[in-house]
Protein backbone atom coordinates (compact mmCIF):
# COMPACT_ATOMS: atom_id res chain seq x y z
CA UNK A 1 0.00 0.00 0.00
CA UNK A 2 1.22 3.53 -0.83
CA UNK A 3 -0.08 6.72 0.75
CA UNK A 4 0.00 9.83 -1.47
CA UNK A 5 -0.47 13.31 0.04
CA UNK A 6 -0.71 16.47 -2.08
CA UNK A 7 0.14 19.91 -0.63
CA UNK A 8 -0.18 23.34 -2.15
CA UNK A 9 -2.55 26.04 -3.36
CA UNK A 10 -5.27 26.28 -6.01
CA UNK A 11 -3.10 24.59 -8.65
CA UNK A 12 -3.13 21.38 -6.61
CA UNK A 13 -6.67 21.84 -5.31
CA UNK A 14 -7.73 21.53 -8.95
CA UNK A 15 -8.89 25.02 -9.96
CA UNK A 16 -9.33 25.07 -13.73
CA UNK A 17 -10.66 21.51 -13.87
CA UNK A 18 -14.27 21.81 -12.67
CA UNK A 19 -16.21 18.64 -12.00
CA UNK A 20 -19.58 18.60 -10.19
CA UNK A 21 -19.02 15.20 -8.56
CA UNK A 22 -15.79 16.18 -6.79
CA UNK A 23 -15.39 18.04 -3.45
CA UNK A 24 -15.24 21.82 -3.96
CA UNK A 25 -16.48 21.13 -7.50
CA UNK A 26 -12.90 20.53 -8.64
CA UNK A 27 -10.95 17.52 -9.86
CA UNK A 28 -7.40 18.36 -10.99
CA UNK A 29 -4.09 16.66 -11.69
CA UNK A 30 -3.53 15.33 -8.15
CA UNK A 31 -6.83 13.43 -8.17
CA UNK A 32 -5.94 12.04 -11.59
CA UNK A 33 -2.57 10.86 -10.28
CA UNK A 34 -4.30 9.24 -7.29
CA UNK A 35 -6.62 7.44 -9.71
CA UNK A 36 -3.66 6.21 -11.77
CA UNK A 37 -1.89 4.94 -8.65
CA UNK A 38 -5.06 3.19 -7.49
CA UNK A 39 -5.47 1.54 -10.90
CA UNK A 40 -2.15 -0.21 -10.22
CA UNK A 41 -2.73 -0.81 -6.51
CA UNK A 42 -6.33 -0.57 -5.21
CA UNK A 43 -5.01 -0.26 -1.64
CA UNK A 44 -3.46 3.15 -2.47
CA UNK A 45 -4.50 5.91 -0.05
CA UNK A 46 -4.72 9.60 -0.92
CA UNK A 47 -5.15 12.95 0.80
CA UNK A 48 -5.23 16.41 -0.79
CA UNK A 49 -4.67 19.27 1.68
CA UNK A 50 -4.19 22.01 -0.93
CA UNK A 51 -6.31 25.15 -0.79
CA UNK A 52 -6.66 28.22 -2.98
CA UNK A 53 -4.98 31.43 -1.81
CA UNK A 54 -2.28 29.71 0.26
CA UNK A 55 1.26 31.07 0.24
CA UNK A 56 4.41 29.01 0.65
CA UNK A 57 4.48 29.92 4.35
CA UNK A 58 0.84 28.86 4.72
CA UNK A 59 1.57 25.49 3.15
CA UNK A 60 4.56 24.86 5.42
CA UNK A 61 2.77 26.05 8.56
CA UNK A 62 -0.70 24.60 8.04
CA UNK A 63 -0.47 21.62 5.68
CA UNK A 64 2.97 20.18 6.37
CA UNK A 65 2.33 19.09 10.00
CA UNK A 66 -0.90 17.35 8.95
CA UNK A 67 0.89 15.59 6.11
CA UNK A 68 3.73 14.43 8.35
CA UNK A 69 1.24 12.92 10.79
CA UNK A 70 -0.14 10.82 7.92
CA UNK A 71 3.28 9.16 7.37
CA UNK A 72 3.08 9.45 3.58
CA UNK A 73 5.07 7.45 1.04
CA UNK A 74 4.60 10.00 -1.76
CA UNK A 75 4.28 13.76 -1.29
CA UNK A 76 3.84 16.51 -3.86
CA UNK A 77 4.26 20.15 -2.90
CA UNK A 78 3.51 23.09 -5.19
CA UNK A 79 3.56 26.56 -3.67
CA UNK A 80 4.71 30.08 -4.42
CA UNK A 81 2.18 31.11 -7.05
CA UNK A 82 0.30 33.38 -4.65
CA UNK A 83 3.56 34.85 -3.37
CA UNK A 84 4.60 36.14 -6.77
CA UNK A 85 1.33 38.09 -7.09
CA UNK A 86 2.16 40.26 -4.09
CA UNK A 87 3.33 43.84 -4.74
CA UNK A 88 6.75 42.99 -3.30
CA UNK A 89 8.33 39.57 -3.40
CA UNK A 90 11.05 38.32 -1.09
CA UNK A 91 12.49 35.11 -2.44
CA UNK A 92 13.18 33.86 1.08
CA UNK A 93 9.45 33.99 1.83
CA UNK A 94 9.05 31.23 -0.76
CA UNK A 95 12.32 29.35 -0.57
CA UNK A 96 12.74 29.09 3.20
CA UNK A 97 9.33 27.47 3.81
CA UNK A 98 9.88 25.08 0.91
CA UNK A 99 13.38 24.24 2.10
CA UNK A 100 11.95 23.53 5.56
CA UNK A 101 9.16 21.41 4.11
CA UNK A 102 11.47 19.33 1.94
CA UNK A 103 13.81 18.76 4.88
CA UNK A 104 10.90 17.51 6.99
CA UNK A 105 9.59 15.34 4.18
CA UNK A 106 12.92 13.68 3.51
CA UNK A 107 11.70 10.54 5.29
CA UNK A 108 8.98 10.09 2.66
CA UNK A 109 9.86 7.58 -0.01
CA UNK A 110 9.26 10.05 -2.84
CA UNK A 111 8.91 13.84 -2.73
CA UNK A 112 8.02 15.88 -5.82
CA UNK A 113 8.26 19.66 -5.92
CA UNK A 114 6.97 21.80 -8.78
CA UNK A 115 8.59 24.73 -10.50
CA UNK A 116 6.38 27.62 -11.60
CA UNK A 117 5.07 28.29 -15.08
CA UNK A 118 7.28 30.80 -16.90
CA UNK A 119 4.76 31.36 -19.66
CA UNK A 120 2.46 34.39 -19.66
CA UNK A 121 -1.07 34.31 -20.99
CA UNK A 122 -1.32 38.10 -21.12
CA UNK A 123 1.14 40.99 -21.57
CA UNK A 124 0.02 42.21 -18.14
CA UNK A 125 1.41 39.05 -16.55
CA UNK A 126 4.70 39.23 -18.43
CA UNK A 127 6.68 41.02 -15.65
CA UNK A 128 5.84 38.17 -13.26
CA UNK A 129 7.88 35.78 -15.39
CA UNK A 130 11.15 37.21 -14.04
CA UNK A 131 9.99 36.47 -10.50
CA UNK A 132 9.02 32.92 -11.41
CA UNK A 133 12.33 32.35 -13.17
CA UNK A 134 14.27 33.50 -10.09
CA UNK A 135 12.27 31.22 -7.79
CA UNK A 136 12.64 28.28 -10.16
CA UNK A 137 16.43 28.57 -10.32
CA UNK A 138 16.75 28.45 -6.53
CA UNK A 139 14.04 25.84 -6.11
CA UNK A 140 15.91 23.37 -8.30
CA UNK A 141 18.94 23.74 -6.01
CA UNK A 142 16.81 23.23 -2.88
CA UNK A 143 15.23 20.11 -4.40
CA UNK A 144 18.64 18.71 -5.33
CA UNK A 145 19.93 19.32 -1.79
CA UNK A 146 17.06 17.26 -0.33
CA UNK A 147 16.92 14.57 -3.00
CA UNK A 148 13.46 15.64 -4.18
CA UNK A 149 12.20 15.06 -7.70
CA UNK A 150 11.25 18.13 -9.75
CA UNK A 151 8.13 18.39 -11.88
CA UNK A 152 9.47 21.10 -14.16
CA UNK A 153 6.73 23.06 -15.92
CA UNK A 154 8.92 26.03 -16.80
CA UNK A 155 9.40 25.26 -20.49
CA UNK A 156 7.46 27.98 -22.30
CA UNK A 157 6.96 26.06 -25.53
CA UNK A 158 5.20 23.19 -23.78
CA UNK A 159 2.56 25.50 -22.30
CA UNK A 160 1.98 28.12 -24.99
CA UNK A 161 -1.25 26.61 -26.33
CA UNK A 162 -4.25 28.50 -24.93
CA UNK A 163 -6.23 25.25 -24.80
CA UNK A 164 -4.03 24.15 -21.89
CA UNK A 165 -5.23 27.10 -19.81
CA UNK A 166 -8.48 27.96 -18.09
CA UNK A 167 -10.21 31.23 -18.90
CA UNK A 168 -8.31 33.06 -16.17
CA UNK A 169 -4.99 32.23 -17.91
CA UNK A 170 -3.48 31.43 -14.51
CA UNK A 171 -4.76 27.89 -13.86
CA UNK A 172 -4.48 24.93 -16.23
CA UNK A 173 -7.58 23.81 -18.10
CA UNK A 174 -8.81 20.20 -17.81
CA UNK A 175 -6.36 19.35 -20.61
CA UNK A 176 -3.59 21.14 -18.75
CA UNK A 177 -4.35 19.21 -15.56
CA UNK A 178 -4.23 15.98 -17.54
CA UNK A 179 -0.81 16.93 -18.89
CA UNK A 180 0.40 17.61 -15.34
CA UNK A 181 -0.97 14.28 -14.13
CA UNK A 182 0.88 12.43 -16.89
CA UNK A 183 4.11 14.24 -16.00
CA UNK A 184 3.84 13.35 -12.30
CA UNK A 185 2.91 9.75 -13.10
CA UNK A 186 6.02 9.50 -15.27
CA UNK A 187 8.20 10.75 -12.39
CA UNK A 188 6.62 8.10 -10.17
CA UNK A 189 7.32 5.38 -12.71
CA UNK A 190 3.62 4.68 -13.18
CA UNK A 191 2.39 3.57 -16.58
CA UNK A 192 -0.16 6.28 -17.19
CA UNK A 193 -2.41 7.28 -20.03
CA UNK A 194 -0.44 9.81 -22.05
CA UNK A 195 -1.79 13.34 -22.03
CA UNK A 196 -3.64 14.07 -25.28
CA UNK A 197 -1.74 15.75 -28.10
CA UNK A 198 -3.20 18.91 -29.56
CA UNK A 199 -3.47 19.76 -33.23
CA UNK A 200 -1.99 23.17 -34.13
CA UNK A 201 -4.47 25.90 -33.31
CA UNK A 202 -5.36 28.33 -36.12
CA UNK A 203 -3.79 31.82 -35.86
CA UNK A 204 -5.99 34.40 -34.19
CA UNK A 205 -7.00 37.59 -35.92
CA UNK A 206 -5.85 40.85 -34.30
CA UNK A 207 -9.43 41.87 -33.58
CA UNK A 208 -10.07 38.54 -31.85
CA UNK A 209 -6.92 38.90 -29.74
CA UNK A 210 -7.95 42.39 -28.61
CA UNK A 211 -11.49 41.25 -27.84
CA UNK A 212 -10.17 38.30 -25.83
CA UNK A 213 -7.87 40.59 -23.85
CA UNK A 214 -10.73 42.95 -23.00
CA UNK A 215 -12.94 40.02 -21.99
CA UNK A 216 -10.16 38.57 -19.82
CA UNK A 217 -9.77 41.86 -17.99
CA UNK A 218 -13.51 42.19 -17.44
CA UNK A 219 -14.30 38.62 -16.42
CA UNK A 220 -11.12 37.43 -14.75
CA UNK A 221 -8.33 39.93 -14.10
CA UNK A 222 -10.24 42.84 -12.54
CA UNK A 223 -12.42 40.65 -10.27
CA UNK A 224 -9.38 38.63 -9.19
CA UNK A 225 -7.40 41.77 -8.34
CA UNK A 226 -10.34 43.00 -6.27
CA UNK A 227 -10.64 39.67 -4.45
CA UNK A 228 -6.91 39.55 -3.82
CA UNK A 229 -6.76 43.18 -2.56
CA UNK A 230 -9.58 42.57 -0.09
CA UNK A 231 -8.38 39.13 0.96
CA UNK A 232 -11.66 37.59 -0.18
CA UNK A 233 -10.06 34.47 -1.62
CA UNK A 234 -8.44 33.67 1.72
CA UNK A 235 -11.80 33.95 3.48
CA UNK A 236 -13.68 31.61 1.17
CA UNK A 237 -15.42 28.90 3.15
CA UNK A 238 -13.74 25.93 1.56
CA UNK A 239 -11.98 23.00 3.16
CA UNK A 240 -9.34 20.62 1.82
CA UNK A 241 -10.86 18.16 -0.63
CA UNK A 242 -9.52 15.05 1.05
CA UNK A 243 -8.31 16.05 4.54
CA UNK A 244 -7.95 12.44 5.71
CA UNK A 245 -6.54 9.59 3.64
CA UNK A 246 -9.10 7.85 1.44
CA UNK A 247 -8.84 4.97 -0.98
CA UNK A 248 -9.36 6.34 -4.50
CA UNK A 249 -10.42 2.91 -5.75
CA UNK A 250 -13.57 3.10 -3.61
CA UNK A 251 -13.96 6.79 -2.64
CA UNK A 252 -13.20 9.02 -5.62
CA UNK A 253 -16.11 9.64 -7.98
CA UNK A 254 -14.75 6.92 -10.23
CA UNK A 255 -14.11 7.18 -13.92
CA UNK A 256 -12.12 5.37 -16.56
CA UNK A 257 -8.93 7.42 -16.87
CA UNK A 258 -8.23 6.30 -20.43
CA UNK A 259 -11.71 7.08 -21.71
CA UNK A 260 -11.71 10.38 -19.85
CA UNK A 261 -8.49 11.58 -21.49
CA UNK A 262 -9.56 10.34 -24.90
CA UNK A 263 -12.86 12.20 -24.67
CA UNK A 264 -11.12 15.42 -23.59
CA UNK A 265 -8.64 15.12 -26.44
CA UNK A 266 -11.45 14.78 -28.97
CA UNK A 267 -13.17 17.87 -27.56
CA UNK A 268 -9.97 19.92 -27.84
CA UNK A 269 -9.24 19.20 -31.47
The answer to whether 114 and 155 are in contact (CB under 8 A) is: no
Can you give the residue range of the structural domain that contains 11?
3-268
Better-predicted residue by pLDDT, 234 or 140 = 140
Give 150's strand partners. Answer: 113
Q: How many domains does the chain have?
A: 1
The pLDDT, as a whole number, for residue 253 is 78
CA-based R_g, the chain, Å: 18
What pTM value is reported for the model? 0.84
The share of the chain scoring above pLDDT 90, in percent, equals 49
pLDDT for 233 equals: 59
113-159 confidence digits (pLDDT tens): 999 988 765 565 667 788 888 999 999 999 999 999 999 999 878 88
Kindly report, residue by residue over 18-76, the tens digit of the pLDDT.
998 889 999 999 999 999 999 889 999 999 999 988 999 999 999 999 999 999 999 99
The CATH number covering residue 33 comes to: 3.40.50.1110
Amino acid sequence: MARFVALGDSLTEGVGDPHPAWPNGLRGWADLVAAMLAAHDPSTEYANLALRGKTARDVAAEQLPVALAMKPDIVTIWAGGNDILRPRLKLDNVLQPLDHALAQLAAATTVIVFTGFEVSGSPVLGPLRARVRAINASLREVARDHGALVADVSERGAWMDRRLWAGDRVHPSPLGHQRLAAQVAHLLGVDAVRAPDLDPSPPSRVARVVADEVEWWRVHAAPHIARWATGASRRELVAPKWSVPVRPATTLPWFDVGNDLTASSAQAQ
